[in-house]
C-alpha cells in the first residue's frame, strides 16, 4: 500500500520580535497577565509601514525555499500546493496561487484551506489522501498567518491581541511504498454551532451593503473570541482528538514519542498533558516564543522538533488541533 510521508520542512518568522513588554505599549496589558494566562513571552510581527505590502504568501515562500532546499528539490518538482491560512493576502484569490507565482510554477494546482487553527491538519489530510490515491506525488503544504495587521490594539480586543503572532511553516510530502511508515491516519471534525464563538465576521457576504462605514467602529472586522468557551472546549477536544488518533492505530501513550499540538495557549496544553497523564516532554510547546500562529503553529513546531533531532525512524508523532469553527483534528505519523 502506498502511503504519504513528510520529506522536508521549513519555517520563516518575520524579523520583528514583540516581547510582552513591547505589547504593553500597544494595548493595556502586562507581561505578568500574558505569561500567567497564556505562557506567551514574545511573538514575531511583520514590520509593515503604511503603503508597504507583504502577505502570507511571501512568508510561506521564504519557508518553502528552505523546505525545498533541504529536500534537494526544485519548485518544479511540486505537483500541488495546499495553503492553510485565516489571514489570506487578499479576500480573493487565495494565497496558494500567489505562493505558486512566487515559486515560479505556473499551472501547478493551488488549493486554499480555511480551517483556522486546524487548517494544517485539514491540509495534511487532503494531501495524504491525494498521495495515497496516486493522484499527486509531491505536495507542498504551507501554513502561514499575518495576524498583526488585523488585531484590535485597544482594551476591547486585548484578550485576543496578546495571543497571536505572525509566521509560516511548510511541509513537503511525497509517496512511500513502505506501508509501516508515514502518515498512518488523519481525523477531521467540526461543529458549526460554535462558529461565532471565535470569528471575524466582516467583510462577509451575508449582508448588504457588504462594506459599511460603521464597520470601522463596531469591532466586526476584528477577531471576536469567547475565551472561556474556547478554553473549555479545547481542553476536552484536544484529548479526544489525540485518543482517536491512537485508537485508530492500536497505540497506547507509551508508543507515542511526541504529541505536537496546535499552540493555542500553554495553559491549554498543560491541562491536556495533565488530563492525559502525558510524560514530561511528551507534548511539545513553543508558544512561549511565537504566540499562537494558527495554521502555521504545527508546521513551525515540527520544523523545530526536526532541527533539534527529536525524531528518529519508527517514532510515533501525534498532531492535534482545535480552534475556530469549532474545528478539531488529529494525525498520527510513524516517522520514516
Active site residues per annotation: 117, 262, 292
- Cα 159 to the chain's mean position, in Å? 20
Min dist CB 137 to ligand UT7, Å, is: 32
Among 2, 16, 37, 219, binds ligand UT7 (CB under 6 A): 37
Q: Is 168 exposed, middle or buried (0-12, 13-18, 19+ CB in 10 A)?
A: buried
# chain residues binding ligand UT7, by CB under 6 A = 19
CA distance 204 to 221: 9
DSSP-derived secondary structure letter, 153: -
Residue 268 binds to ligand UT7 (criterion: CB under 6 A): yes
> For ligand UT7, which is the closer residue by CB, 75 or 88?
88
CB of 2 to ligand UT7, least distance (A): 33
Interface segment toward ligand UT7; rule CB under 6 A; list 67-75, 137-145, 157-165, 249-257: 157-165
Give me the DSSP letters along 177-197: --TTSEEEEEEEEE-GGGGGG
Q: Which of 153, 227, 248, 270 binds ligand UT7 (CB under 6 A)?
A: 227
Beta strands in the chain (DSSP E): 3-12, 16-19, 42-45, 80-84, 109-113, 139-145, 167-176, 182-190, 198-199, 224-225, 256-261, 316-323, 327-334
Q: In this chain, which of 110, 126, 172, 230 binds ligand UT7, going by CB under 6 A?
A: 230
Q: Which stretch binds ligand UT7 (CB under 6 A): 97-105, 122-130, 181-189, 222-230?
A: 222-230
Residue 159 in the binding site for ligand UT7 (CB under 6 A): yes
Assess 153 for contact with ligand UT7 (CB under 6 A): no
In sequence order, the β-bridge partners of residue 177 are none
Q: Which residues are paired to 188 by β-bridges?
A: 329
Q: According to the binding rule CB under 6 A, does residue 147 interact with ligand UT7?
A: no
Q: Tell me which residue has its CB nearest to ligand UT7.
A: 227
C-alpha span between 272 and 237 (Å, rounded): 9
- Report if residue 150 touches ligand UT7, rule: CB under 6 A: no
Position 265 contacts ligand UT7 (CB under 6 A): yes
How far CA 208 is from CA of 203, 204, 205, 212, 220, in Å, comes to: 10, 9, 8, 8, 15
Residues at the site binding ligand UT7, with contacts judged by CB under 6 A: 29, 33, 37-38, 117, 158-159, 162, 225, 227-228, 230-231, 234, 264-265, 268, 292, 323
Amino acid at each position: 500500500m502506498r502511503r504519504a510521508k513528510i520529506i522536508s520542512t521549513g519555517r520563516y518568522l518575520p524579523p520583528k520580535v514583540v516581547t510582552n513588554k513591547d505589547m504593553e505599549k500597544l494595548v493595556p496589558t502586562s507581561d505578568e497577565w500574558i505569561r500567567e494566562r497564556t505562557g506567551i513571552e514574545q511573538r514575531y510581527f511583520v514590520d509593515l509601514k503604511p503603503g508597504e505590502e507583504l502577505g502570507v504568501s511571501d512568508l510561506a515562500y521564504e519557508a518553502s525555499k528552505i523546505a525545498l532546499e533541504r529536500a534537494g528539490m526544485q519548485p518544479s518538482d511540486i505537483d500541488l500546493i495546499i495553503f492553510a491560512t485565516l489571514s489570506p493576502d487578499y479576500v480573493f484569490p487565495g494565497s496558494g496561487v500567489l505562493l505558486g507565482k512566487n515559486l515560479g510554477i505556473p499551472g501547478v494546482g493551488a488549493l486554499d484551506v480555511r480551517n483556522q487553527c486546524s487548517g494544517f491538519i485539514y491540509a495534511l489530510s487532503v494531501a495524504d489522501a491525494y498521495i495515497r490515491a496516486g493522484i499527486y506525488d509531491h505536495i507542498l503544504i504551507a501554513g502561514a498567518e499575518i495576524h498583526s495587521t488585523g488585531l484590535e490594539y485597544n482594551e476591547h480586543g486585548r484578550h485576543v491581541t496578546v495571543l497571536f503572532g505572525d509566521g509560516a511553516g511548510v511541509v513537503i510530502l511525497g509517496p512511500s511504498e513502505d506501508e509501516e511508515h508515514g502518515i498512518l491516519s488523519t481525523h477531521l471534525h467540526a461543529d458549526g454551532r460554535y462558529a461565532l464563538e471565535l470569528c471575524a465576521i466582516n467583510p462577509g457576504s451575508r449582508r448588504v451593503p457588504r462594506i459599511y462605514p460603521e464597520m470601522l467602529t463596531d469591532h466586526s472586522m476584528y477577531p471576536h473570541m469567547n475565551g472561556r468557551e474556547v478554553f473549555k472546549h479545547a481542553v476536552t477536544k484536544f484529548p479526544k482528538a489525540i485518543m482517536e488518533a491512537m485508537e485508530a492505530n492500536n497505540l497506547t501513550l507509551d508508543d507515542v514519542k511526541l504529541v505536537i499540538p496546535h499552540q493555542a495557549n500553554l495553559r491549554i496544553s498543560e491541562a491536556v498533558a495533565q488530563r492525559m497523564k502525558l510524560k514530561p516532554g511528551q507534548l511539545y510547546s513553543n508558544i512561549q516564543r511565537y504566540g499562537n500562529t494558527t495554521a502555521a503553529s504545527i508546521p513551525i513546531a515540527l520544523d523545530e522538533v526536526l532541527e533539534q533531532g527529536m525524531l528518529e525512524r519508527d517514532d510515533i508523532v501525534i498532531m492535534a488541533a482545535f480552534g475556530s469553527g469549532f474545528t478539531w483534528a488529529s494525525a498520527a505519523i510513524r516517522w520514516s
